[in-house]
Amino acid sequence: MFVVGLTGGIAAGKTVVSARLAERGAAHIDADRLAREVVEPGTPALEAIARRFGDAILRSDGSLDRAALGAIVFSDPDARRDLEGITHPAVQQLSQQRMREATEADPARVVVYDVPLLVEARGTGEFDRVVVVHAPRETRIERMVSLRGMDEADAVRRIDAQATDEQRLAVADDVIDSSGSLDETLAQTDALYDRLAELAAAKAGAAAKAAAADKAADPDNACASRITPPVRSQQPRADQPRPSSVSGRS
C-alpha cells in the first residue's frame, strides 16, 4: 500500500489537486467525510460522545448537533481533547479500512488521503509521501474574499487558526504551487501523479518479492502479502529546506 498525505491551507486549491489525482487513477479518501461518517446515528463514536457530553448534543432525529457540540468543545480544551480521544481512533480505523479496500484489486494503486489538518492533528508517520498544495497567504485571502464572498477579517481569522505555511512546508515531500493559473496547477499535478505511480509500483513490487521470498523459505507460515509501512518523523521538521514546486525528494 502506497499512501500519500495531501494537505494545504484553506483556499490553497487542494480540491483541484485531489480531483485531478483521482481522475488520473488515484484512490481519494477524504478525512473530513470520514469524520462525519464515524458520528452518524447508531455508531459507537456517537454513543460515546452522547455519554460524555449528554443528550443535549443530539438532534431530535438522533443525529449529532454539531453547533451544540462545538459550543462546548471550542471553549473547553479538556472537552475538546475528550472529543478527539473518541473521534480520532474511529477515523483512523475507518481510514485504514478504506485504504485496504482501495488497494485490494491493485496493490500498486496510489492512495491519496486528503487531510486538511494533517500538520495540526494527524501527523506524517503513516504516509509514504506528504504533498502540500501551497499558495501565498495574500493569494488565499483574496480568493476567500472574491470567490467565497467572505469578509476579509473573517478570512484572516480562519487562516490564522490553521498551521502556518512554514509548518506545512516543513513536512512536505512534494509541493504543488497553486498560485498560478489552473492549467499550471493541473500540469504540476499530472507530473506529480506520474512520479507517485512509479513509487507506488516500486513499493508493491518490493513487497511482492519479499512475500515470495518468505513463502519460499517457509511455505507453511509465510504471510500471503507484506505491507511495508513508511518510516517518517511524526513532527514537522522545522530545519528542513523547502521543497521546490512539484520536485519532491526521492
15 annotated ligand binder = yes
Q: What is the DSSP annotation of 174-225? A: EEEE-SS-HHHHHHHHHHHHHHHHHHHHHHHHHHHHHHHHHHHH-TTT--S-
175 annotated ligand binder = no
Cα torsion through 20, 2, 131, 163, rounded to 10: 120
207 annotated ligand binder = no
215 annotated ligand binder = no
Contact of 18 with 189, CB cutoff 8 Å: no
13 annotated ligand binder = yes
Annotated binding site for ATP: 11-16
Annotated binding site: 11-16
